Chains A and B, each alone.
Chain A
């Protein structure tokens, strides 16, 4: 048997081998079929010329800026909805209507308001991060066990103590899940934004470039980079989550 840590590599390696074989033995002569070696050369070239870092840097910067704005706004708004029945009654219906609108339907509006540059993209992906964070924060706060709130009453907790000692820790698994989702959505939206609001630099623009010039190697390289970055972001978020929520025990934290 393969060691556990290596099992995840089986499928990618099989695919690369099949891909290589398809080119080597001429299973197809479509110009869409590019040799793995060619993609590798493009990767080396992008790497060496610094083009990759310029594009990826621009994308990641937008991603993190939008995520930070969207997630913090989402935390505040979700906490407000969760904490106050009045806020839920006043703002909840509008929020639940807005969240039904497909994210991409915001693009025309955002491009009119903010143009096609960074501002519009950051606004777009902060929206992407905002919705999952709000929903999960709200859910987390609303599902704090009433048993534990009662313990807080018996021990004479003040309002601030109830929030600090009961509500926030009890809601934290759900809040973390929301932030985690927000991070993933923001990265997906980064690419979507770059693709639909074509201007400036970014890994999405690199791919648009490749498609327009029919450089399949560049497109494939872009796909791989985007996948790896998404994997990396997810991994970092999972690690932080697992550490912060270690109290849940192995059975829950490591499924």
Chain B
């Protein structure tokens, strides 16, 4: 089992330059993720949640504040941090097996360890028998499993998931959520899932970080104190879900009361309690 590290984000801000003007995307994000924890991040489009993941994985390097893994400042990408994107991003000219092996290209394993690890991870994501299939022969759900295996095959300390199931149909999504939970249990690594599906966030996360947009800030961190496996239709689950949804609607009392702004079209609507965002 891979040992996981503590991820600490302190006072993190990030801005892009748009036509010479600084456009803040993230503002003063502070968040600590314990080793082996599962954290969900929810927020509407434009709240900078994907940017946050890109900063943690090291694809963006220009920021203020700190992002530390095991006390080490994150600079550039590393095999200790894996990521699964919303699109599977598999290499269409490689088979399932070769795509996963690509993750190990620069790993310090022997050849036999590599091929064993690839085999194990194909089994882990439930794709035994599809080793020599090409991406165009796979369904969306299967492709995303391959992408998860490719990210895990290095045994990273942290796995980042950027809306990995966003493009899948509801049944496949529900199934892969359970699979992801099983994998998290089996691997014992830290996982950070970015999603705009509140149910997904509550189903999987030990805590749910609710973000608000323009600039991206943490609105509230909702602990999910429910035992796994979680029952999606039970009353306690529904209560937490509503609690999170209320944050979106801006109705719950919050230490950080927001002021409505006219240019903020994402938050301009007052949604009734329990209504799901369709973004």
Contacts and interface: CB of A to CB of B under 8 A. Distances in A.
B59 A249 contact: no
B137 A148 contact: no
Given A154-B82, A155-B79, A156-B78, A165 B102 contact: yes
A78 B85 CA distance: 32
Contact of B105 (A150, A155, A248, A251): A155
A247 B93 contact: yes
Contacts of A153: 59, 77
Contact of B89 (A148, A156, A165): A148
B77 A248 contact: no
Interface string A187-221: 00000000000000000000000000000000000
Contacts of A166: 91
B30 to A, nearest CB: 25
Range of interface residues on A (Cβ < 8 Å): 20 to 34
Given A169-B93, A248-B92, A154 B134 contact: no
A154 B136 contact: no
A150 B84 CA distance: 12
B87 interface: yes
Interface size on B, as a range, is 20 to 34
The secondary structure that dominates the A interface is helix
A157 interface: yes
Contacts of B48: none
Nearest to A164: B105
B106 interface: yes
B89 A147 contact: yes
A155 B102 contact: yes
B102 A154 contact: no
Contacts, number: 52
A247 B59 contact: no
Nearest to A151: B89
B134 A249 contact: yes
Question: Which residue, B59, B85, B105, has most C-beta atoms of chain A within 10 A?
Answer: B105
Interface in A216-251: 247-249, 251
A153 B92 CA distance: 18
Contacts of B58: 154
B91 A249 contact: no
A154 B77 contact: yes
A143 interface: no
B91 to A, nearest CB: 6
Contact of B59 (A150, A156, A158): A150
A147 B87 contact: yes
A247 B92 contact: yes
A129 to B, nearest CB: 25
B91 A148 contact: yes
A161 interface: yes
Interface string B68-82: 000000000111001
Contact of A249 (B57, B78, B79, B137): B137
Contact of B91 (A150, A161, A169): A169
A87 to B, nearest CB: 26
B4 interface: no
Nearest to B92: A247
B205 interface: no
Nearest to A249: B136
Contacts of A249: 134, 136-137
B83 A154 contact: yes
Interface pairs A-B: 6 shortest CB-CB: A249-B136, A247-B93, A169-B93, A156-B106, A154-B77, A147-B89
Given A147-B89, A170-B93, 7 more contacts: A147-B85, A148-B91, A155-B79, A155-B103, A156-B79, A161-B105, A169-B93
